[in-house]
């Protein structure tokens, strides 16, 4: 197994020999990966290569059957998504997990609403709208009104809302599952810019993607999965799309 663990400093998250077995089947086996603050890692691989199972273990959706996870050097156990959130890991799946019947502001603050009066827990709507506006402007997200219902938004606006939400939640590691799959060209561009802005804020980003062009544009390292194993990690600057495709398909250069 090849490793390119040359990034400096202490990793935010470290997976040690992590694995997931369903009965006799190894969905993921012995994955070692460190994710450092302010870096973007692309995860590539064929369907069924174990990418989804791997990120679901980081997101707390699946509990690993072997190995261990460390956050900033401390071992942790995620038995549900709430545990992962507490460790400041936020995941955006393809369905974006937005409540379409609610406003942009409601979705940004979902699960983190600002309230006053500990008994009645009254919503502080104005404050949340103002904070949402500031956040959207900071991230350069072009949504005209935080009052708008998500059902009325375009795909890119929804994606941006989901990203604004995880930023609001104070995520240190953001996991994105095929974020550009449903987006047009301009919307994809806006999304990539947003990801780079997150990186500049020191957040770590893990992106599953089939779009080689996107992967090469924004990632620092690329992790290649095959048959449940992490077969290679390459520095983006030191590799080529051909090499990556070859690894995905044949497992070697």
Partner 1 sequence: MTQSVTQPDRNAGGFNLFGFARSQEGVVVFLLVALMIVVAVFSAASPYFFDVRNGMNIGRAISIIGIASAFTTLLMIAGGLDLSIGAVMNAAGVVAAMVLTQTNLGVGGAIVAAVAVGALVGWVNGMFIAKLGINPLIMTIAMQFVVRGLTLGFSASASKVIVDPTFLAIGQSYFHIGPLAIPAPLLWMLLTMLVLWFVLRFTLFGKYVYAVGGKASACRRAGINVNVITIQLYMLSGIGAALAGVVLAAIQGAGIPYGAGSELSVISAVILGGVSLAGGIGLIEGTLVAVLLVGVLKNGMTLMGISSVFQMVAEGLVLVGAVTLDRLKRRL
What residue ranges bind partner 1 (CB under 8 A)?
Answer: 81-82, 85, 91, 93, 95-102, 106, 110-113, 115, 120-123, 141-145, 147-148, 152-154, 156-157, 165, 184, 186-187, 190
- Phi, psi of 83, deg, nearest 5: -60, -45
Residue whose CB is less far from partner 1, 68 or 100? 100
Least distance between partner 1 and beta carbon 238 (Å)? 35
Q: Return the number of the residue (175 or 244) whose C-beta is nearest partner 1.
A: 175
Considering the complex, state which of residue 103 and residue 204 has its C-beta at the smaller distance from partner 1. 103
Q: Residue 44 or 160: which CB sits closer to partner 1? A: 160
Of the pair 44, 59, the CB lying nearest partner 1 is at 59
Cα–Cα distance between 62 and 164 in angstroms, integer? Answer: 25
Shortest distance (Å) from residue 217 CB to partner 1: 20
Minimum Å distance from CB 29 to partner 1?
Answer: 27
Q: In angstroms, what is the minimal distance from the CB of 31 to partner 1? A: 23
- d(Cα 99, Cα 8) in Å, to the nearest integer? 39
Nearest distance in Å: CB 113, partner 1: 5
């Amino acid at each position: 197994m090849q490793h390119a663990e040359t990034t400096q400093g202490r990793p935010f998250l470290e997976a040690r020999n992590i694995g997931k077995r369903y009965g006799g089947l190894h969905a993921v086996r012995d994955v070692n990966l460190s994710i450092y603050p302010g870096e973007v890692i692309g995860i590539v691989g064929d369907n069924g290569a174990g990418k989804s199972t791997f990120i679901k273990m980081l997101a707390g959706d699946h509990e690993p059957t072997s190995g261990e996870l460390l956050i900033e050097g401390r071992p942790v156990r995620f038995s549900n998504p709430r545990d992962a959130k507490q460790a400041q890991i936020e995941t955006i799946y393809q369905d974006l997990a937005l409540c379409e019947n609610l406003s942009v502001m409601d979705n940004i603050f979902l699960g983190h609403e600002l309230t006053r009066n500990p008994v009645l827990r009254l919503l502080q709507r104005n404050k949340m709208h103002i904070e949402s506006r500031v956040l959207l402007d900071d991230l350069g997200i072009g949504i005209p009104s935080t009052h708008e219902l998500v059902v009325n938004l375009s795909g890119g606006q929804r994606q941006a809302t989901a990203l604004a939400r995880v930023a609001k939640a104070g995520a240190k590691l953001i996991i994105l599952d095929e974020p550009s799959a449903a987006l047009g060209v301009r919307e994809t561009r806006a999304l990539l810019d947003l990801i780079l802005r997150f990186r500049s804020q020191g957040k770590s980003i893990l992106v599953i993607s089939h779009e080689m062009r996107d992967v090469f544009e924004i990632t620092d390292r690329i992790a290649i999965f095959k048959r449940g194993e992490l077969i290679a990690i390459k520095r983006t600057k030191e590799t080529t799309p051909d090499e990556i495709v070859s690894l995905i398909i044949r497992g070697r250069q």
